[in-house]
Structure 1
């Protein structure tokens, strides 16, 4: 499964094709799905382009995306960096009148348990983000962790040739606890393609998009999310 991560916290200074508006995000979603993406991960933006969890912004962008790609699962980020206030984030999540198919929750964040519980109570699936063995240990100790949709393992610091061992160490913690959730791998910038290739080698899902990086394997900058997804699908075809 290939998930396209369209924008993240990136700005147009990072890449001129980072989508901000509902129309830009919906257009990128459609192009990415046509190029082969099976799912979408989006950071919601307000009308000024700032990251947001406000109900009206969530509804506006989810509705625009679903109109262009009906039936495609759409997830959004709940990152602490968007709103570093646990109570406010939970209140906003409860206020959503249009809900995503899933939310991504970083387990290293201080209120991860509360945000997970809030999402699940609303019937929203949870993608649990793990970046270390410590994250994995914390996750498997959470009541109801098996109720999550999947585990998203992210390796972001460049350790050439060690990505595989870092993923294995996290998986050992999950296996030891009997966690059998599906796994999706991703990296960022220098680790984006190594982690995608690792996902293909191991038979896991992979994630590609301007949130994670803008360079192609050739070392040239990709034109947009569509080109990144097309490149990922070409690589997938070799496995």
Structure 2
């Protein structure tokens, strides 16, 4: 399954900055997420200091991109507090590292219909305006932010990202000079992303993330990954990942199909069956071992910036 239609971007096969001649594969580490995982694994970072430290450690282990959510330090619950995002990003940028910062815009999309009136959200709903969902991106100007191109049943709630809201968010992100990572959870999401590109809301070359195994999206299988990859524009940059026990099999599959990879405690709490991951570092290190076993190399941040067409580290 090593054929690659969407080859990973304009410079996906580049070996700039290497002496080995092996393909550099970008590793993204999704550090903490917004799920109910605090308490299930003590390694999940919660405070800005913990998240930033985990990001820097993951970068040393081979991650070129760190994907960031923030949490309420007192409760561990997901948060959208701009001050928490600011502290986390500033702690990372204060260190002499070239790691690429990727902020989520997924918060504010959860809807749970109430029993009394389904039009009204039950406790746990977080629906927010598209403007509110990108305010931290506009304020902090990370190199990358996610843009979830989906409305879907997401476990027991609905994850809501309407085309109209995506247009508002996409234009705001573009105006901020930030590269959107287009998260696609099923094949129809890819179709919508391509439509938004046709409309000029999103620009090419685009960055796609194939998110597999999330209930109830596309399964984490080789067939699903290949099918969604084959829908992408020729030469598109793409990353693929699977959640839970599918995390590392999908690392190998994405590499074989010419893509890039993502791991981290947001997606998977275990380093192997029945064994909790001691850190994000351990997950990155295992992904790096898989990359090298497949005769590729983890891209360093400078190579990742070249592949993605990003500027050098902000000053």
TM-score normalised by structure 2 residue count: 0.68
Between Structure 1 and Structure 2, the one with more helix by share is: 1
User: Superposition pairs for residues 18-37 of structure 1, below 5 Å?
Assistant: 18-37=44-63
Q: How does 1:79-94 map to 2 (within 5 A)?
A: 79=106, 80-81=109-110, 83-90=126-133, 92-93=135-136
Between structure 1 and structure 2, the one with the greater Rg is 2
Q: Which residue of 2 aligns with 1:154?
A: 211
The answer for the alignment partner of 1:7 in structure 2 is: 32
Structure 1 stretches of 4+ moved >4 Å: none
Contact 2:210 2:240 (8 Å CA) reproduced: yes
Shift of 1:26: 1.3
Q: Deviations over 1:180-205 (max 9, x none)?
A: 32001111113212211111212311
Residue equivalent to 1:122 = 176
Give deviations 1:64-118, integer Å, cap 9, x for gaps: 1222353211101111249421245257347x43221111111002222321111
| Residue correspondences, number | 234
Match of 2:142 among 76, 87, 100: 100
Check conservation: 2:31, 2:280, Cα contact below 8 A: yes
Instruction: Provide structure 1 residue ranges, at least 5 long, that are not aligned to the other structure.
Output: none
Distance in 1 between the 2:220 and 2:135 partners? 39
Q: In structure 1, what is the Cα distance between the partners aligned to 2:105 and 2:51?
A: 17
How do 1:57-206 and structure 2 match up within 5 A? Answer: 57-68=84-95, 70-79=97-106, 80-81=109-110, 83-90=126-133, 92-93=135-136, 96-108=138-150, 109-110=161-162, 111-142=165-196, 143-144=199-200, 145-147=202-204, 149-157=206-214, 163-175=221-233, 180-206=235-261
Q: Which has the higher contact order (CA 8 A, sep 6+)?
A: 2
TM-score, length-normalised on structure 1?
0.88
